[in-house]
A and B are shown apart, each in its own frame.
Chain A
Amino acid sequence: MANKLRIATTSLAGCFGCHMSFLDIDERIIALADLVEFDRSPLTDIEHASHCDIGLIEGGVCNSENVHVLREFRKNCKILVAVGACAINGGLPAMRNFIPLEECLNEAYLYGIGVENPQIPSDIELPLLLDQVRPQHEVVKIDYFLPGCPPSADVFWTFLTDLLEGRQPVLEYGLVHFD
């Protein structure tokens, strides 16, 4: 089929729980595979997004790499979707926002229980942490939001089938959860 929609997915400061929930659409993924093809995604191992119709991104923005990836998705995706609680308000990773970054690093890498060879990681390959975890909509324009921790498989299915069939996506009451 020549006109398959291209979907890219990624996780920023997330736990991949949203991706797991997406896979919970179970056998419906076969019907979906007839209609879409996957670009950059943990499901494909493609490293950079090319031009896509839909980008699904879970997780908040916690470091410089997250910012680059989010901007790459915005540049390449016609429709960008913030997926899950962390994407929408920073979620659990954002609970570090109330502790100075230096204290977080000291606790994790210098003074925490059981730390051996204490040192703050400083390899040039490592992306720099932002001082706070921020939601995606503060960094780029987001077109749709799928709330939930994670959004249920039915949320993904309803949203994608609405889009694929040319309808404005609507999440009815039972599909809207923040937990």
Chain B
Amino acid sequence: MSNTLTIDGNTIPFTDGQTIMQAATAAGVYIPHLCHHPEFTPHGSCKLCTVKVNGRICSACTFPAMAGQNVLSNTQELTADRKKITQMLFVEGNHFCPSCEKTGNCQLQAVAYHLNMLDDHYPLFYPQRAVDASHPEVLIDHNRCIFCTLCVRASQQTDGKNVFAISGRGINKHLIVNADSGLLKDTDLAASDRAAHICPTGAILIKHTAYQVPIGQRLYDHQQIDQVSLAQEQTPHGE
């Protein structure tokens, strides 16, 4: 059997060991995602990449591609599910886009735009979350953290450090840093670290860089995340 599967009826090749997400991206098929990044081990937590594989719900970023799979992704049902997931991400944190310097460059916001999400639908939690401005060059605003663990993985896998982790469960889940004081300034994080630049939202920001590009002229103001994502992440098969 040849190494192909179908996504929404289109035949897609894959190589052994690839996930459905990797095969889709290589073939130029965008599957919405926030916690997935091609440089890092998949985590499968945001559930935006939920697809139907032979009738069963799976996360495309963690599920292995296999010959003959019938994958559904861009369907009305799955798009509605993804919109609900995104709305839940919004109400679980405190995402006040007009006062966030990441607005227009934020992947959470961009996914919401892409899904034509016009409201939050659910009651808002307004959780009490802190800001850690202790580090001279990097700021953590926990209000905007969606627990994607990209900073955790980037710190471990690229920077060779161990600055970040997720602690607690459920609504008490939160990002912690590796210092007795609990403050970012007492970790070995440097502003040049990959982990300081990987946050898909405005939770980890580089200080002194805000508003250099005006609102309205930013990445997702005129370009949809499907095109941006593929342009950044698509590499030909086998590379």
Q: Flag whether A54 is at the interface (Cβ < 8 A).
A: no
B113 contact set on A, CB distance < 8 A: 173, 176-178
Knowing A89-B124, A174-B222, the reply to whether A149 touches B116 (Cβ < 8 A) is no
Interface centre among A89, A90, A95, A134 (most CB of B within 10 A): A89
Stretch at the interface among B37-45, B92-100, B154-162, B185-193: B92-100
Q: Flag whether B31 is at the interface (Cβ < 8 A).
A: no
- Of B112, B114, B116, B124, which is within 8 A of A90 by CB? B124
A89 B96 Cβ-Cβ under 8 A: yes
Q: Flag whether B104 is at the interface (Cβ < 8 A).
A: yes
Q: Flag whether B207 is at the interface (Cβ < 8 A).
A: no
B116 contact set on A, CB distance < 8 A: 171, 173, 176
Q: How large is the interface on B (under 10, 10 to 19, 20 to 34, 35 or more residues)?
A: 20 to 34
A138 contact set on B, CB distance < 8 A: 123-124
Q: Flag whether A91 is at the interface (Cβ < 8 A).
A: yes
Stretch at the interface among A3-11, A122-130, A139-147: A139-147
- Of B96, B109, B117, B119, which is within 8 A of A91 by CB? B96
Q: Flag whether B103 is at the interface (Cβ < 8 A).
A: yes
A135 contact set on B, CB distance < 8 A: 120, 124
B124 A179 Cβ-Cβ under 8 A: no
- Of A82, A95, A174, A177, which is within 8 A of B99 by CB? A95
Knowing A90-B124, A171-B116, the reply to whether A178 touches B99 (Cβ < 8 A) is no
Q: Flag whether B128 is at the interface (Cβ < 8 A).
A: yes
Chain A 80-95 interface mask (CB, 8 Å, partner B; 1/0): 0010010011111011
Chain A residue nearest to B224 (CB atoms) is: A173
Expressed in whole angstroms, the minimum distance between the Cβ of B145 and any Cβ of chain A is: 15
B118 A145 Cβ-Cβ under 8 A: yes
B128 contact set on A, CB distance < 8 A: 98
Q: How large is the interface on A (under 10, 10 to 19, 20 to 34, 35 or more residues)?
A: 20 to 34
- Which A160-175 residues have a C-beta within 8 angstroms of B? 171, 173-174
Chain B 134-173 interface mask (CB, 8 Å, partner A; 1/0): 0000000000000000000000000000000000000000
A179 B103 Cβ-Cβ under 8 A: yes
A85 B97 Cβ-Cβ under 8 A: yes
Q: Flag whether A50 is at the interface (Cβ < 8 A).
A: no
B123 A149 Cβ-Cβ under 8 A: no
Chain A 10-34 interface mask (CB, 8 Å, partner B; 1/0): 0000000000000000000000000
Docked pose: A170 CA to B57 CA in angstroms? 29
Q: Which residues of A contact B (CB under 8 A)?
A: 82, 85, 88-92, 94-95, 97-98, 132, 134-135, 137-138, 142, 144-147, 149, 171, 173-174, 176-179
What are 26 pairs between A and B in contact, CB < 8 Å?
Answer: A82-B119, A85-B98, A89-B90, A89-B95, A90-B126, A91-B98, A92-B96, A92-B99, A94-B126, A95-B96, A95-B99, A97-B126, A98-B128, A132-B126, A134-B124, A146-B118, A173-B116, A176-B113, A176-B118, A177-B221, A178-B97, A178-B103, A178-B109, A178-B112, A179-B97, A179-B103
With A135-B124, A179-B97 already in contact, 10 other A-B pairs whose C-beta atoms are closer than 8 Å: A88-B119, A89-B120, A98-B128, A137-B121, A145-B118, A173-B224, A176-B113, A178-B103, A178-B112, A179-B98
